[in-house]
Structure 1
Amino acid sequence: MLWSLAPVIYGPTVLFALGEGAVIPLLPIFASRLGADVPTAALVASALVVGQLCGNIPAGWSVARVGERVTMAIGGVIALGGVAGLALAPNLALLTASVFVIGFCAAVFGLARHSFMTTRVPLSFRARALSLLGGSFRLGMFVGPFIAAALLAVFGDEHATVWFFAVCLLATVLLVMFGPDPEARAAPARTRLTPVGDSRVAEDTGEPVTGAIPTAERVGVFRTMWRYRGVLSRLGLAAASLSAVRSARQVVLPLWGVSIGLDASTIALVVGISGAIDFALFYASGQVMDRFGRLWAALPAMILMGAGFLALSVTHDLPQAAMWFALFAAVLGVGNGLSSGILLTLGADVAPVADPAPFLGSWRTLTDAGGAFAPLLVSGLSAAFSLSLATGAMGIVGLLGAAAFIRWVPRFVPRGR
């Protein structure tokens, strides 16, 4: 099933991520060309994360009403407008708005694919399918900066990466609109209605069907948030802690390398090796979750990353600080790789099968908020105290998140998942 649908499931994800990955490293440069200082350039780049936060809930509303395919196409077209603004922006205000629009559309695109996989992929290999989806995104984000470097070497103009992103978006929209319709080729998993509280929610049995599908009443985004406030405030916050630790890794490792006096090429090499380890493990994570259960991937990942941050935090002034930096960067890469797809999979597991998109909008907003909060926490603690204390604090967040997964995954995720 996944091989037959790969061009329309994973292909658009790779294309979008390739373009985004090529542009993101150059956002501060675009801002500085328009007169921004370093703090203002950082603010412009952060508009991408703000856009993602703001896009999840509207994306859930759109998917519930017009479907995944149409939502993806709309998101791609709007993102083309954001890319045009990025290339032609005459001032910082328009540049920031364009970055916000791209982040917003990235959320729309991601939620549409997540919703499709939740309703169409059988439970027996759901985790592997969603890990592949996460791996497709990581592939694009990993390769994108290298494509940007090649384009800069050939054309000598940063805007070449923007036009590359535009080409990727155009190809994505064409593939979504004119490729085989995944919603028609992949029938929803068989559902049966079971009472949950005062509503009837469809339960996924993992069996493909071709006949009529019983569905629960569509209740909208905000009523869905209220109805599922228990799982969102418990398991959702545990998921947000995982997202926070992941995001902190991307911030802490370069800062740590600078703080201990390494040159830029050495830092890039260490961070690149950590990223390569992370990418190499994305499918193994799905195998573990499908064969042994979700907790067997979430728990080792959180313990490794939490312990890795804590251990790194005490090595700053050691004689062999560079060696410890490389070692714990690799440990963090292993932990992050083992967590590939876990947020997507847990969201799919606890979402109402009949109408998952509104719930997934809330779920993804929580996890994105965790990822957005972590760099602010690291920055604030580093400024007020030290980078070592900020790194140790993220280790504590990781271990608390591990405890939360132990507590809430068995309660909210059905046995056998």
Structure 2
Amino acid sequence: MNDSANINDSAGRILTRFAPMIYGPTLLFAVGLGAVLPLIPVIAADRGASLAAAALVAAAVVIGQLVGNIPAGYAVARLGERVTMVIAGFLGLAGVIGMALTPGLVAFTLSVFVVGLSAAAFGLARHSFMTTRVPLSFRARALSLLGGTFRLGSFTGPFLAAALLAVFGDEHATIWFFAACLVGTILLVLFGPDPETAVSTPDPRRDERDHEDTGEVITGPVATTGARDGVFRTMWRYRTVLSRLGLAAASLSAARAARSVVLPLWGVSIGLDAQTIALVVGVSGAIDFALFYASGQVMDRFGRLWAALPAMILMGSGFAALAFTHDGEQAAMWFAMFAAVLGVGNGLSSGILLTLGADVAPPTDPAPFLGSWRTLSDAGGALAPVLVSAITAVASLPIAVAAMGVIAFAGAGAFLRWVPRFVPRVRD
């Protein structure tokens, strides 16, 4: 009992010390980005983009994140987390100013892409810092709180955007709001406690023997040597875990992204008005947000699978069941019910990808590995909307939704197979 109390007290103290250096900047960044993202297609359309082109402009953020993950891993490994976060802040500020001031659609799209690069660098620097500073005993709670902080910003950002539009009547007000958030982020990182000295690096309690990633059964992350490996050498060294557990992570990202796309499309398809769709999606998002810390508690107490499996099974079941309700008499009721199921599943998955990436990353130099890990997971999220759109065009929306259910179930099987093989056991 005393050991458990001491661990919880240590967790509370360290997480509190993370607030000004990690959680505060994350919240500011997420609020600003959450305010801007819904209006990017609107601004693009105002500048002459068609609906398809506007969707492509909005996708430039995701493309920027995909492209930026591996260079961000290199930057963190060479420059450190704090310097990389500062660079990311200024890079994002440059992108936001470009969004506000450039008149052409191409320049606007490039500016959105730069914001995506900034998000990749900022996110990877936070992830790397938490990987090397948080003890295994409460790592999942720390990273679930990080994921929840970003979700809070994403959840509140659109409401702040609505308020800014009501006051100023101009979409550019949200862009300047994001710029102010980025300035606050930069100031917190620059003048707050140094994240690389304020919290000492814990003993990772891992086997540090040098060996290749052969795929043999292990009880902890694959070890690394004291010397730094480059990004591409790291990818090759850890090719087995990336191609197995990394693909499971990509399936989870795909299910999450599909939820964001499917719910609005489904509501339109069954004839609901925009207000009702927004309400259902909002309730699903609220459920998702409410469960973020519970996910970390479960992972730290019982193990990673106890959060990953229920999350994937719930999302797979939600997609699969929803696919059979499109033409039913109670289609709206089923839509609301399974949107809630998807919200529960997504909420239980909060922090899982961050935690698993930290678990299997090399303890002494995680950034290059995390760049590859985040690229895989982001690729799953980027491909899911494309897959939903393609299957809907070729067949129908219910078949596309059912396909996402199959992907979620396949991901559950992959987690069941590979988490015990690659992820260290949580010890009290």
Bin of the TM-score, shorter chain as denominator length: over 0.9
Q: Do structure 1's residue 104 and structure 2's residue 104 form an aligned pair? A: no
Residue in structure 1 matched with residue 425 of structure 2 by the alignment: 415
Distance 1:44 1:185 in 2: 40
Residue in structure 2 matched with residue 208 of structure 1 by the alignment: none
TM-score by length of 1: 0.95
Cα pair 2:33 2:157 within 8 Å, conserved: yes
CA shift digits 1:163-202 (9 cap, x unpaired):
0000000000011001111211111111465224259xxx
Q: Do structure 1's residue 322 and structure 2's residue 332 form an aligned pair? A: yes
Residue in structure 1 matched with residue 72 of structure 2 by the alignment: 59
* Structure-to-structure mapping, 1:182-261, within 5 angstroms: 182-191=195-204, 194-198=208-212, 216-261=226-271
Residue in structure 2 matched with residue 6 of structure 1 by the alignment: 19
Cα pair 1:245 1:305 within 8 Å, conserved: yes
TM-score by length of 2: 0.93
Structure 2: runs of 5+ lacking an equivalent: 1-13
Structure 1 residue ranges, 4+ long, deviating more than 6 angstroms after superposition: none
How far did 1:5 drift?
A: 2.3
Residue in structure 2 matched with residue 297 of structure 1 by the alignment: 307
How far did 1:415 drift?
A: 2.5
How far did 1:298 drift?
A: 0.1
1:86 to 90, 94, 99: 99
CA shift digits 1:2-34 (9 cap, x unpaired):
112211110000000000000000001111111
Distance 1:392 1:204 in 2: 35
Residue in structure 1 matched with residue 60 of structure 2 by the alignment: 47
Structure 1: runs of 5+ lacking an equivalent: 206-213
AA matched with 1:225: M
* Structure-to-structure mapping, 1:9-408, within 5 angstroms: 9-191=22-204, 194-198=208-212, 216-408=226-418
AA matched with 1:150: A
Task: Report which stretch shifted further, 174-183 or 220-229.
Answer: 174-183
Cα pair 1:190 1:204 within 8 Å, conserved: no
Cα pair 1:189 1:204 within 8 Å, conserved: no
Q: Counterpart of 2:415 in 1: which secondary structure?
A: helix
Distance 1:305 1:77 in 2: 37
Distance 1:123 1:162 in 2: 39
Cα pair 1:193 1:216 within 8 Å, conserved: no
Q: Counterpart of 1:190 in 2: which secondary structure?
A: coil
Paired positions, count = 406
How far did 1:136 drift?
A: 0.5
Q: Counterpart of 2:209 in 1: which secondary structure?
A: strand
How far did 1:148 drift?
A: 0.2
Q: Counterpart of 2:363 in 1: which secondary structure?
A: coil
Q: Percent identity?
A: 73
